[in-house]
Structure 1
């Protein structure tokens, strides 16, 4: 704009800035603004008076002009009407640029009108700021759109850098209290549109694992927040992301934080152990005055042994039933009080069977049975017989592995999950020391013993996976060093048949028979690992011999009659899928995958689970509790195991969406679909329970050693959906509250006879009493 007007003259030189209408025809060759006429002028000038200023002007004589002579500028004889001394409140851009007086007329001031140039008035300071903010908003919306598209494809370091940058800009914004200093596009647009509430950096909700961090694709990766060396936390210890206890902990923390934030208060970080509903903080009573070699009467022992093999052995065949029952009858056929007794470890196995059966009876009847005895007495005897310092230092044998496995199961049945998890680790190490994780090619091992050892390994494998999910810790067993074939779908009583013997001894025949029964796992967690086939259960049927031509099986699939061994095969196959889900979605190796890859993995795992369900025989299809149906316990056990596998697969999507505004995820996306499926699976799990509570039926036809875990897992998912993603008064809210009330009723009945259920009920009621008012939940 500075070139649109000539420079203003100084006070000492003649006015030459007021031009006539033909001023545009003149050419200026002045050296610059404020310059004088040349010192040497060879032209003679005639005096003339300026009619405006009254000053004397110099005009050259006619016909005598020098090359360097200046051309005189004629002055307008008209008086300028806008030379008022009054000041205008706002000057145009051109006058402001030239620092000239402006008339302030709109739309064109007099100065611009006379000069024939375009006149414009700029915005005021406040208007400029508003326009700049609007421009920033538009830019940020563009940046946010691009960032949302690019973020899932970022590698780990880039994603962490983005998160750290967002957090740093938030601290700057809070400390300086200036909108313009918070230049991060994604954060600024959320602040300007009131999508987030800015809090000081010392607020409990300002941390990387809070809800704001759920955009991170690796939000399910474990980390520690507490000192587990403290006494009150040692009983529980570390709890990982795939445990429902950590889901409950995060839900309660977020809900409590929302309450105190609205009141302007601060909240101390709660302890994860506050969500612990197990009995790890209680000491196990060890009885001193006890006869280690004491035994119950044979009638009592028969009841306990039968209960164990009916209710526990099908899902946990750590004991060879046929061999053990033969030894048991021999033991009681002789005088139990005589000096002729089996070894201490066998006696420990028997006492652990008694302890587990008595614990189940106590849950069913809700009162001790003097005839059956005290389960702590049997457990103490077993511990002194085989779990002392000497036994733990000895090289393990098969009976020692069985003792340690049964001990882990007993601790689980008494809700000592932390101790059970540690004991199953010892049992697995003992089993590896015995080579039970590998196939046997020894001709010295008979077929019956060989298949029984395989089942011992898979029993430990399944219990380890269950405890891994309950407490959220990594499994103690791995696939890379396991070549044990999957169990055959025949009862132990049939192992002596020639056709079954051939199936046990010939791996190619075993593979040819079992491959159509098991599920192929098509998802590999790491490209550097083995191929998909090497990780699948089918590949474990005949490791190392897959290239051999398959031989005809002496038994066809059509001839396999549903039995508890076939149930165990399906349970092991589904356990592989659970293990795959944990390693894929929750292990630290998941940090190398973007959220898009995580979604694809969850979708693949979910499809594999559905494929497993499609293979399930009619005899094992899911139904509600009905003790009159055949394989009632096996049906319910498989249903709970299937539903908990689906929950573990889909839970990361539910957690991700729980911390985003409702509707933020597009309907039909993988994340939205998986989150909805997670909620539906939780409701399906609770629908297995009868509407009328019947504790006796619950403990008879369900996996009673883990039923509290399954109920709390499904209830936690429904609580997350209700409080984080549901509006009060909607149809969905009514359905969720109804399901949660059903779960609370069952927990209330279980709490009358189980201390762990009382704790679980207390944890749920604490959340509902503080935050359930807006949903008008009527819970006694």
Structure 2
């Protein structure tokens, strides 16, 4: 196969720059240095561990030199749009009374820039699309999230990011290889998460990929700090080892993708209504082994011991994603049917345990305060948390109708806790409210009564929110 230079670094943006893009370079219209620093630091704390779309030293050098190409401005505004969702600053909202409008002005600016650089994609363009896709998830823009990640995939493949850099260009500098691999796997993770969340087909065929995982290297000092134009606070950059930790998320989403293809795609045997539907244990046994191997190979600092140890947000999210994947794998096998000759109670037990563990972790995040902000740690999660909670909630709802009274009673309590978690996170991601409403509708359709009033629970939580908001303005 023939590869030209776009496959090992991309055209220079200035080489193919569109005339319409020049207006953004001439007038970047960026926030003040203080606001930029705040938003970038929020990105590094809450987003970069899940989407490391650049190498810190190279990114910092462009900031220092004010090298504002259109694609760099695009990724900056995409970052601002997503990072602002983790801020309590009302000035970031287009409507101060509506939390869902936070960051919209940055997202609109990013989209305006994107319209001018379609024909000149580079790696920053791909990275910005990944970030913008995350921003659109859970804000009422699910379709746009789907389209943005699809566009990112095509641009990344056009640039050859899905290929092994050493095969394309053995002389490529190590830092350039690292950046390409980070952006590709951030794109891959986002593709799997968007597919799982919205139930659509995956955009990346794993058999087309031989790109290696990022190694977490940054040859120009990973602990660099910088002050933007005399801003009162320092720009600190990503935490050490965040890129190496990201590799474990990427490898987990690879397994998730295989689960979705093997058990949920239209032509998979598991989705068939034939007598073979649940009698073939091969996908279950193989994928279950892959998940077990993944868990056993986690380094000590990423292992989850107990909620009493208050594991970090990344570790908590990583393990909740593991439990969600486990539920997706075993859920088709967890229902008794004439065609299911396997011991369905084992899969049901695994789903129940995974759902229980998920809500236990989420409850801990809801009741503890983030070290960087005076809010529950639950509000510091990306949108993937909504998908995780809803996946666990479906297991609890199913168990609410169990003939085992102990299991049913426990499931009802955990359903209440799931609704509490979704109620808390809806301030950041409006889709949390929609998923909560879906759970309530399912409860109503099955005539399931919870041990406490859902509306009363919500009113109590709203009182706490109002009290906190009042203190905020004091």
Give the 5 Å matches for 1:450-465: 450-465=177-192
Partners of 1:429 and 1:712 in 2: CA distance: 30
Q: Among 222, 234, 249, which residue is 1:571 paired with?
A: 249
CA-to-aligned-CA distance 1:120-173 (integer Å, 9 cap, x gap) = xxxxxxxxxxxxxxxxxxxxxxxxxxxxxxxxxxxxxxxxxxxxxxxxxxxxxx
Match of 2:33 in 1: 298
Give the 5 Å matches for 1:249-648: 293-331=28-66, 342-362=68-88, 367-368=90-91, 375-385=103-113, 387-388=114-115, 390-392=116-118, 394-412=119-137, 414-441=139-166, 442-443=169-170, 445-488=172-215, 490-493=216-219, 563-591=241-269, 594-595=276-277, 598-623=280-305, 632-648=312-328
8 A Cα contact 2:153 2:203, kept in partner: yes
Q: For the structure 1 residues 457 and 736, does the alpha-carbon distance in structure 2 shift closer, same or farther, using more than 3 Å as the test?
A: same
8 A Cα contact 2:79 2:128, kept in partner: no
Q: For the structure 1 residues 738 and 297, does the alpha-carbon distance in structure 2 shift closer, same or farther, using more than 3 Å as the test?
A: same
Match of 1:46 in 2: none
Partners of 1:405 and 1:751 in 2: CA distance: 22
1:493 to partner: Cα distance: 4.8
Q: Among 352, 376, 379, which residue is 1:697 paired with?
A: 376
Match of 1:151 in 2: none
1:572 to partner: Cα distance: 1.5
TM (normalized to structure 2)?
0.75
Cα root mean square deviation, aligned: 3.2
Q: Among 345, 361, 367, which residue is 1:672 paired with?
A: 345
Q: For the structure 1 residues 311 and 574, does the alpha-carbon distance in structure 2 shift closer, same or farther, using more than 3 Å as the test?
A: same
1:403 to partner: Cα distance: 2.7
> What secondary structure does 1:757 align onto?
helix
1:439 to partner: Cα distance: 1.2
- Work out whether 1:719 is the aligned partner of 2:454: no
1:649 to partner: Cα distance: 0.6
CA-to-aligned-CA distance 1:47-83 (integer Å, 9 cap, x gap) = xxxxxxxxxxxxxxxxxxxxxxxxxxxxxxxxxxxxx
Q: For the structure 1 residues 777 and 600, does the alpha-carbon distance in structure 2 shift closer, same or farther, using more than 3 Å as the test?
A: farther
Partners of 1:628 and 1:733 in 2: CA distance: 29
Partners of 2:295 and 2:53 in 1: CA distance: 26
Partners of 1:492 and 1:682 in 2: CA distance: 38
Partners of 2:150 and 2:117 in 1: CA distance: 16
1:444 to partner: Cα distance: 5.1
Partners of 1:476 and 1:417 in 2: CA distance: 15
Match of 2:464 in 1: none
Partners of 1:491 and 1:425 in 2: CA distance: 28
Q: For the structure 1 residues 627 and 430, does the alpha-carbon distance in structure 2 shift closer, same or farther, using more than 3 Å as the test?
A: farther
Partners of 1:578 and 1:461 in 2: CA distance: 12
Partners of 1:599 and 1:722 in 2: CA distance: 27
Q: For the structure 1 residues 752 and 484, does the alpha-carbon distance in structure 2 shift closer, same or farther, using more than 3 Å as the test?
A: closer
- Work out whether 1:741 is the aligned partner of 2:416: yes
Q: Among 361, 375, 380, which residue is 1:688 paired with?
A: 361
Q: For the structure 1 residues 602 and 401, does the alpha-carbon distance in structure 2 shift closer, same or farther, using more than 3 Å as the test?
A: same
Match of 1:755 in 2: 430
Q: For the structure 1 residues 413 and 569, does the alpha-carbon distance in structure 2 shift closer, same or farther, using more than 3 Å as the test?
A: same
Q: For the structure 1 residues 461 and 381, does the alpha-carbon distance in structure 2 shift closer, same or farther, using more than 3 Å as the test?
A: same
1:562 to partner: Cα distance: 8.5
> What secondary structure does 1:296 align onto?
coil
CA-to-aligned-CA distance 1:611-660 (integer Å, 9 cap, x gap) = 2111112211125668975xx12211211221111011111113x43xx4
Q: How many aligned positions are there? A: 397
> What secondary structure does 2:280 align onto?
helix
Partners of 2:387 and 2:81 in 1: CA distance: 21
Specify which structure has the higher proportion of helix.
2
Partners of 1:770 and 1:480 in 2: CA distance: 42
| Unaligned segments of structure 2, at least 5 residues | 1-25, 223-238, 370-374, 457-474
| Unaligned segments of structure 1, at least 5 residues | 1-290, 332-340, 497-560
Partners of 1:774 and 1:379 in 2: CA distance: 41
CA-to-aligned-CA distance 1:420-464 (integer Å, 9 cap, x gap) = 112111111011111111112325531101111011111100000
Partners of 2:398 and 2:202 in 1: CA distance: 26
Partners of 1:643 and 1:453 in 2: CA distance: 30
> What secondary structure does 1:318 align onto?
coil
Q: For the structure 1 residues 495 and 298, does the alpha-carbon distance in structure 2 shift closer, same or farther, using more than 3 Å as the test?
A: closer
Higher mean alpha-carbon deviation, 352-361 vs 426-435, is at 352-361
Match of 1:133 in 2: none
8 A Cα contact 1:599 1:670, kept in partner: no
> What secondary structure does 1:445 align onto?
coil
8 A Cα contact 2:423 2:433, kept in partner: yes
1:739 to partner: Cα distance: 0.8
Partners of 2:209 and 2:155 in 1: CA distance: 14
CA-to-aligned-CA distance 1:345-390 (integer Å, 9 cap, x gap) = 211111111111112225xx7x5558999512212222222x21x4
Partners of 2:259 and 2:397 in 1: CA distance: 23
Q: For the structure 1 residues 749 and 624, does the alpha-carbon distance in structure 2 shift closer, same or farther, using more than 3 Å as the test?
A: farther
Partners of 2:410 and 2:104 in 1: CA distance: 43
Q: For the structure 1 residues 368 and 768, does the alpha-carbon distance in structure 2 shift closer, same or farther, using more than 3 Å as the test?
A: farther
Partners of 1:436 and 1:753 in 2: CA distance: 32
> What secondary structure does 1:381 align onto?
helix
Partners of 1:755 and 1:679 in 2: CA distance: 27
8 A Cα contact 1:623 1:635, kept in partner: no
Give the 5 Å matches for 1:761-772: 761-772=436-447
8 A Cα contact 1:447 1:495, kept in partner: no
Higher mean alpha-carbon deviation, 295-304 vs 745-754, is at 745-754
